[in-house]
Chains A and B, each alone.
Chain A
C-alpha cells in the first residue's frame, strides 16, 4: 500500500512499530510517537489518535508490465526477483472511506469489467482477461455524465453513448466522449482471507 505521509501540510516520518493490529502492520511516527494502523491509515494511540493518512493510488503488477506503462520509471536500488505469488490469487480492494469492497480477480478476469457503486461513487474495476496483473479502478463520472462500461473487442464501451475507452489507460479513443479520461481511484490488492479479517464489515464481489 502507498500512503501520503502528510498531515495538515506537515510531512511525517514513520517507522515500524513491530506490532500487529487488524492482523496487519503498525507504524510509529517520529514526531509524536503515535501508533498507526496500515490498512486503515489511522492513528490508534498517541497524540494523533483519529488522524488518517490518505491512500495514494498504486499498482501491484509485474516489472515487465510496469515498464511498458511507465517507460521512464525508476527502480528502487534493490534486488528484484520472480515471486511465486500471482495476482490471480488476490483480490482488488477499493476503500472509499465509508465503504470498502473486495473484487475477486479470477471472476473479474472473465468479466473484464464490473460496474459498481462504492460509498455513493460510481466506479468500474477493470482486469485484462489476458493478464490479471493488468488492472485499474476508475470513477465512472465523466463531467456531469456517468458511464456504464461493458467489455467489447476494442475496449470498454459506454452503453449509452457508445464511447470506447482504453481499458488500462482510461482514455476515450472514439465516440461522443473521445479524448476524455476516466479518473483513477485508489485501490490495492490483498489476499481474500486477509480482507475478511481486516475488513469484517467490508463487502465482497461477487456476493456469496
Chain B
C-alpha cells in the first residue's frame, strides 16, 4: 500500500469510527433522551492496552486457575460514565441495581447493563471507585 493510499485508508477508518461514535453517543441517551446529563468521575483519556506492560508477555508465572479468554478491554469498560437524575432515568421499578452512597452523593448502576459492560470507572464523593459485575 502506497503512503497516499495508506493515509486515505486511515482517514476512512477515522471517518467510520467517528460515525460509529456519533451513533453510539445518540444511543447512549437511552431512555433519558434529551434529559440533562451529569458527568461522573471517570477518565476521558485512556491508554492503548498494547502499550502497557503485560505480565504474561513478560513471562511472569500466573497463579494456578488463571484462565485467559479475551484480550484486554475486548469487553470495553465504561471509562467516562454519564448520569441522569432518578426522575429522568425512566427505569422499571423492579430493575436490579448496584447502589453506592457516600456523604454527599448516591449513585445507581443497573445490573442488566453491567452484565454487558462489566466495569464502570467512576468516583463517589470525589474518591475514585470501580464498579464491577
Contact = CB atoms under 8 A, between A and B. Distances in A.
Interface of A: 1-6, 11-23, 25-28, 30, 32-35, 38, 44-47, 53, 56-64, 66-67, 69-83, 85, 87
Given A21-B65, A33-B52, A77-B29, A14 B85 contact: no
Given A2-B100, A3-B129, A16 B77 contact: yes
Interface residues of B, number: 76
Given A13-B43, A75-B84, A22 B65 contact: yes
A2 B131 contact: yes
Contact of B92 (A16, A21, A33, A81): A81
Given A35-B55, A74-B105, A80-B95, A16 B110 contact: no
Q: Which 8 A-B pairs have the closest CB atoms?
A: A80-B91, A18-B70, A33-B53, A75-B89, A64-B93, A70-B106, A45-B55, A80-B110
Contacts of A34: 53, 55
Given A5-B129, A35-B62, A62 B72 contact: no
Given A6-B127, A77-B28, A77-B83, 17 more contacts: A14-B130, A16-B73, A18-B75, A44-B62, A61-B97, A62-B93, A63-B96, A66-B97, A69-B101, A70-B101, A71-B86, A75-B83, A75-B107, A76-B83, A78-B28, A78-B30, A78-B109
A53 to B, nearest CB: 7
Contact of B108 (A1, A75, A83): A75
A28 B132 CA distance: 13
B8 to A, nearest CB: 31
B46 A13 contact: yes
Majority secondary structure, A binding face: mixed
B26 interface: no
B22 to A, nearest CB: 16
Nearest to A1: B132
Contacts of A61: 96-97, 99
B94 interface: yes
Nearest to A73: B106
B98 A33 contact: no
B108 A76 contact: yes
A80 B130 contact: no
A77 B84 contact: yes
Contact of A75 (B71, B86, B93): B86
Contacts of B124: 56
